[in-house]
Structure 1
Amino acid sequence: MAMTAPEIETYIREAFPDAVVKIDDLAGDGDHYACTVISEAFRGVSRVKQHQMVYNSLQGHMGGTLHALALKTAAPEI
């Protein structure tokens, strides 16, 4: 069973309570999403590490119940 956008957002918000999260279902199949996450937690952190942080927030669902997630991450603009 695939994950829904609200489920993905819940996991991300638990890890990053201050985050602005935008999720788009790319294929309309509940399996391929694009996600933008903006959080202060990313300030001064490499993009690779930011993406790892988001993947970790999904608690093992990436590659299983969540097939594809294109990520865009950033710290808020000052």
Structure 2
Amino acid sequence: MAMRADDIADLIRAGIPDAEVEITDLAGDGDHYAAKVTSASFAGMPRVKQHQAVYAALGGRMGGVLHALQLTTGVPK
């Protein structure tokens, strides 16, 4: 079962409350998304830790309900 883009964004915002989230459906199939997530809480974190924070916010859905997520993270400018 595919996830909706809004559900992905809501999960990320619930786990990272100050996050700005942009979700793009890459294939139009509800299984392959790109996410751009910016958060002040990422300041000073290496990129891998930023990605781990997003995956944690998704609560184990990666690889199951959510098949593929191209992730870009950073701090607001």
Give the secondary structure class of the aligned counterpart of 1:8.
helix
Instruction: Note the aligned Cα RMSD (angstroms).
Output: 0.6
Query: CA offsets, 1:5-52, max 9 Å, x none?
Result: 011011000011111100000000000000000001100000001001
Give the secondary structure class of the aligned counterpart of 2:23.
strand
Give the secondary structure class of the aligned counterpart of 1:21.
strand
- TM-score normalised by the chain length of structure 2: 0.97
What fraction of aligned residue pairs are identical, expressed as a percent? 60
Question: What 5-or-longer segments of structure 1 have no aligned partner?
Answer: none
- Greater mean alpha carbon deviation, residues 66-75 or residues 12-21: 12-21
**1:63 alignment partner AA:** G
Q: How many residues align structurally?
A: 77
Give the secondary structure class of the aligned counterpart of 2:35.
strand
- TM-score normalised by the chain length of structure 1: 0.96
Q: How does 1:1-78 map to 2 (within 5 A)?
A: 1-77=1-77
TM-superposed CA distance for 1:76, in Å, is 1.1
Q: Distance in 2 between matches of 1:50 and 1:72?
A: 9
